[in-house]
Amino acid sequence: DAKTTQPPSMDCAEGRAANLPCNHSTISGNEYVYWYRQIHSQGPQYIIHGLKNNETNEMASLIITEDRKSSTLILPHATLRDTAVYYCIVTWSGNTGKLIFGQGTTLQVKP
């Protein structure tokens, strides 16, 4: 599985868009980009995934660069409840499904 690099922490004002970057320069063609988040004292929660096209769901948008070496998770209108650690994970479809978590980005949404 490709390694990912994320900033350790970020702040965002409540109501503004939160843009969380992830670098995965060694990603291979059959690997997907997944985002999970972990709110304090809870288990991780799936957010979104993508291969090469941009994706959007009710929680977030995922923008993947054309060369697929980096991506950005966008929370369009951050709320205090979005304060969490966000993990960017790269894994391939034929994998057993095990997730390799890095350190993630701690997002602090401030009022």
Partner 1 sequence: GAGVSQTPSNKVTEKGKYVELRCDPISGHTALYWYRQSLGQGPEFLIYFQGTGAADDSGLPNDRFFAVRPEGSVSTLKIQRTERGDSAVYLCASSLLAGGIPNEQFFGPGTRLTVL
8 binds partner 1 (CB under 8 A): no
Q: CA-CA distances (angstroms) from residue 15 to 74, 96, 110?
A: 13, 38, 9
Classified as helix, coil or strand, 82 is helix
Q: How many Cβ atoms are within 10 Å of 80's Cβ, its own excluded?
A: 10
Q: How many residues bind partner 1 (CB under 8 A)?
A: 24
53 binds partner 1 (CB under 8 A): no
Give the range of 17-25, 38-46, 58-66, 68-76 binding partner 1 by CB under 8 A: 38-46
46 binds partner 1 (CB under 8 A): yes
Whole-number Å distance between alpha carbons of 90 and 33 = 5
Classified as helix, coil or strand, 31 is strand
When binding is defined by CB under 8 A, the residue of 40, 58, 66, 98 that contacts partner 1 is 98
Q: How far is the CB of 103 from partner 1 (least distance, A)?
A: 6
Q: Give the residues lining the site for partner 1 (CB under 8 A).
A: 32, 34, 41-46, 49, 85, 87, 91, 93-104
